Amino acid sequence: MPAMVLLSPNRLLAILAKEFVQMRRDRLTFAMMLVVPIIQLLLFGFAINNDPRGLPAALLATGNDRYARAVVTAMEATNYFRFIARPESAAAAESLIASGRVSFVVTIPADFGRRVERGDAPVLLVEADATDPAASSGAIAALQTVANRALLREQGREALAADQQRAALSVIIHRRYNPEAISQYNIVPGLLGVILQMTMVMMTAMALTREIERGTMENLLAMPATPAEIMLGKVLPYLVVGGVQVTVVLIAARGLFGIPFIGSLGFLILSVLIFVAALVLLGYTFSTLARTQMQAMQLTFFFFLPSLLLSGFMFPFSGMPVWAQWLGEIFPLTHFLRVVRAVMLKGAGITDLGSEFAILCLFIPLYALLALSRFRQTLD
Amino acid sequence: MSAIDVRGLTKSFGRKRVVDNVSLRVEPGEIVGFLGPNGSGKTTTIRIICGLLTPDAGEGTVLGFDVRRQSRRIKREVGYMTQRFSFYEDLTIAENLAFVARLYGLRPVENAVRRTLADLGLTSRRDQLAGTLSGGWKQRLALAACIMHAPRLLLLDEPTAGVDPKARREFWEEIHRLSAGGLTVLVSTHYMDEAERCHRIAYISYGTMLATGTVAEVIRDSGLHTFLVDSDNPVELADFVATLPGVEQVAPFGRTLHVVGRDRAALAASLAPVAARPGIAVRPGETSLEDVFIQFMARTGARPE
Ligand SMILES: Nc1ncnc2c1ncn2[C@@H]1O[C@H](COP(=O)(O)OP(=O)(O)O)[C@@H](O)[C@H]1O
Ligand SMILES: [Mg+2]
């Protein structure tokens, strides 16, 4: 009898064929794998595509001259700002924004009008609650132009084209609580990673526990399939599913949200493939650790939440304390987000992203070895 | 060389010793019945033999391979039919067979599948999902799938549990055909009539092997003697007879009581006055395998799981 090879193409084929048939027969799961990404994309995509107007604002105006009034009127006219309070002091204003009752505090200093008349650029201070930066970014973006134009108009110099370019006032924006503003474009590529992670890890985490619960594991182990064959046979079909999901999300990102697409498509697809491979192996590792499907689910969620919070998807990575950043580095999602954002939005390539890409690749052997070492060839 | 030759197998789950110093020998071509009450360690012993569990202690060979170290080689040449149906219910019959054929490297796969389907008489139902088969058909499918790769040893774990009598009979005819072709069979069961169909039996109780041998040997070695007592009111009589000296066990079979004990003289003496009563007849009888097993169970006591 020939020595047992660790990876026989025929045996791998046997498991692959079986898995594909089972996947096809499991209508509900199959539908979920295709529908979930679309629903999530629509849900998150439109939620963040929404450019909110009528944000509550507080006006702290120590000066109350006609220039100040003009600027305030112009700001209200944008519909971004809705002034709901006129606090008497800076402390009162502070408590309004801290409690979340207003999203902005606009401070017009006492010498605003005097400086305009003297020809100095006056200062407008806007404090924005950036805990939800997506919410305030539109308003902030509009501010400078609007205020500038209002001031020039009030000075009756609207007709002077040259002045249009000159800053008639300087707007100082303090983004509070969250120094780094995430743009909408930042989120949709991130969604790609999150959607992939959600479905890929969860599906493969069931791979072995399903066999155990259905009682088929005993038979599978009694037959001559090796751990490596079982692992590959179980995860490769999901690589294909991941490919389909990526296509769906990318087409939707472009079509629905007009996400710019600057970098190399080939490099993006390669990165996605490596990310998906890492994810399915991670899910498979979970399934070697869990005894029941319930445990597999719990492991998945236990992993899912911190990776969502610490990867830089929800909160900017650089805003986190150092220990959290270190923790964040252990998630494939963290590295994938850096790669995918840089590729899609900045057009970065392998030369710029070499180390991130390498780390992403490292997860594959890491998880594979972990899974193989945890795989129980007996029922002990 | 014995097909199975294991000695001193021991296996605990947690603090519970499920298999305790079990030794078993099965010669090539034999059909050996593996008997014992539920939870006595039959499945565990079979799993150790085919390499699915590692014993805590013990050693031996299966088909000449070391039971502890060569489980991959053992698996390749053993057909193991699990107690619970463990093929894929969401695959068709043909897909299940093709899966097995590919895993064992049988070629061409389609030929192996077609031949097995024909032997089973399932050709017309090849595309039916395995989960929709009745218990009897599932069991036949499982057996067919287990012998596709022409194993030298067949391990069957309660193959006929929950199967109707006709299917059971056909199943045993198949087992005897396979055995005649040189296949060695170890089959666990708790049906008495199936034990009688085996060349030899092994009886395990709560992890301990109590008896091995042919049915006749096991009965003889038990040292039990049996008297048959016919009466019109066997239930009432049984309570009384059970209190007599020398009587170790009384079991009603219809209108007949099987009165069993090790001391033949004491039994005869105790039953003489009973025989004198009107409407009651006492005669010496053959000790049956069932009597022996009931005695085994009484002796070890029904331990809580
Ligand atoms: N994997 C396991 N973990 C813990 N206990 C087990 C396991 N497998 C079997 N047992 C226990 O071992 C005992 C023997 O089981 P088993 O070998 O299945 O007996 P049988 O097949 O004779 O009914 C039972 O009490 C059972 O609960
Ligand atoms: Mg059992």
Q: Say if residue B118's pLDDT is above 90.
A: yes
What is the rounded distance in angstroms from the CA atom of residue A235 to the CA atom of residue A20?
A: 11
If you measure CA to CA, which chain B residue comes closest to A26? B90
Within a domain: B238: yes
Same domain for B149 and B251, yes or no, is no
For residue A3, pLDDT beyond 50: no
Q: What angle do CA A195, A201, A202 make, to 5 degrees?
A: 90
- The DSSP element (H or E) to which A332 belongs, if any, is helix A332-346
Residues A191 and A155 in one domain: no
Q: Does residue A9 sit within a domain?
A: no
- A95 — pLDDT class (breaks 50, 70, 90): confident
pTM, rounded to two decimals: 0.79
pLDDT at B163: 86
Judgement on whether residues A352 and A208 belong to the same structural domain of the protein: yes
Highest mean pLDDT among A48-52, A132-136, B4-8, B105-109: B4-8
**Predicted pLDDT at A150:** 77
Question: A152 and A195 in one domain?
Answer: no
- For ligand 2, a single-atom ion, the residues with CB < 5 A are B 42-43, 83
Q: Looking at residues A295-305, what average pLDDT do you find?
A: 92
Give the whole-number percent of chain A exceeding pLDDT 90. Answer: 32
**Residue of B47, B87, B105 lying closest to A10 (CB–CB):** B105
A158 and A215 inside one domain: no
Identify whether B166 is part of a domain. yes
Contacts of residue A339, defined as CB under 8 A and 6 or more positions apart, other chains included, come to A271, A348, A353, A356, A357, A360
Instruction: Report the residue from A8, A25, A378 with minimal CB separation from B53.
Output: A378
Q: What is the pLDDT of residue A158?
A: 47
In a domain, A129, yes or no: yes
Residue that has been written with the tokens 């198949």 in this structure: B174
Query: Looking at residue A182, what DSSP letter applies?
Result: P
Q: Is A260 helix (H, G, I), strand (E, B) or coil?
A: coil
Within 13 Å and on the Cβ side, how many CA atoms surround B179?
22
- Closest CA to ligand 1's atom 2: B13
Residues A167 and A258 in one domain: no
Q: What is the CATH number of the domain that holds B245?
A: 3.30.70.100
pLDDT higher than threshold 90 for residue B17 = yes
Residue B7, pLDDT score: 97
Which of the pair, A157 or A221, is modelled with greater confidence? Answer: A221
- Distance (Å, rounded) from C-alpha A103 to C-alpha A55? 6
Per-residue pLDDT band at B211 (split at 50, 70, 90) = very high
Q: What is the reported pLDDT for A168? A: 57
| A13 interaction partners in chain B (CB closer than 8 Å) | 102
Residue-by-residue DSSP string for chain B:
--SEEEEEEEEEETTEEEEEEEEEEE-TT-EEEEE--TTSSHHHHHHHHTTSS--SEEEEEETTEETTT-HHHHHHHEEEE-SS--S-TTSBHHHHHHHHHHHTT-SSHHHHHHHHHHHHT-GGGTTSBGGGS-HHHHHHHHHHHHHTT--SEEEEESTTTT--HHHHHHHHHHHHHHHHTT-EEEEE---HHHHHTSSEEEEEETTEEEEEE-HHHHHHHTT-EEEEEE-S-HHHHHHHHHTSTT--EEEEETTEEEEEES-HHHHHHHHHHHHTSTT-EEEEEPPPHHHHHHHHHHHH-----
Residues B232 and B114 in one domain: no
* DSSP code per residue over A113-176: HHHHHHTPPPEEEEEEETTSHHHHHHHHHHHHHHHHHHHHHHTT-TT-HHHHHS-SSEEEEEEE
Do residue B141 and residue B241 come from a single domain?
A: no
Q: Report the mean per-residue pLDDT for chain A.
A: 81
Complex confidence, ipTM:
0.88
Please say which residue of A119, A151, A176 terminates a domain.
A176
- Chain B from 99 to 118: CB within 8 A of any A CB: 99-100, 102-105
Residue among A17, A11, A208 nearest B76 (CA): A11
Ranges A127-131, A373-377, B41-45: which has the least confidence: A127-131
From the CA of B204, give the closest atom in ligand 1: 22
Decide if A114 is inside a domain: yes
Beta bridge partners of A55: A81
Contact call for A224 and B104, based on CB within 8 A: yes
Do A161 and A236 lie in one domain? The reply is: no
Residue A263 belongs to domain spanning: 184-379
Query: How many angstroms separate the CA atoms of A177 and A129, rounded?
Result: 7
For residues B162 and B264, membership in a common domain is answered with no
Domain end marker among A160, A176, A192: A176
**pLDDT at position A318, please?**
66
Q: Which amino acid is at B74?
A: I
| Listed residues A122, A147, A176: the one ending a domain | A176
Same domain, yes or no: B192 and B256: no
- Mean pLDDT of the B216-228 span: 93
Q: Is residue B152's pLDDT more than 90?
A: yes
Structural domains in chain A (count): 2
- Tell me the per-residue pLDDT of A230-241, one tens digit each, with 9 for 90 and over: 999 999 999 998
Q: A75-86, pLDDT tens digit by residue?
A: 888 777 888 888
What pLDDT, on the 0 to 100 scale, is given for residue B304? 45
Owning domain of residue B201:
4-214
Residues B208 and B230 in one domain: no
A142/chain B closest Cα distance in angstroms: 59
**Ligand 1 within 6 A of B44 CB?**
yes
Residue A11 lies in a domain: no
pLDDT, tens digit, for every residue of B62-74?
999 999 999 999 9
Residues A196, A66: one domain?
no
Q: Of A133-137, B33-37, B273-277, which gets the smallest average pLDDT?
A: A133-137
Average of pLDDT values for A331-340? 92
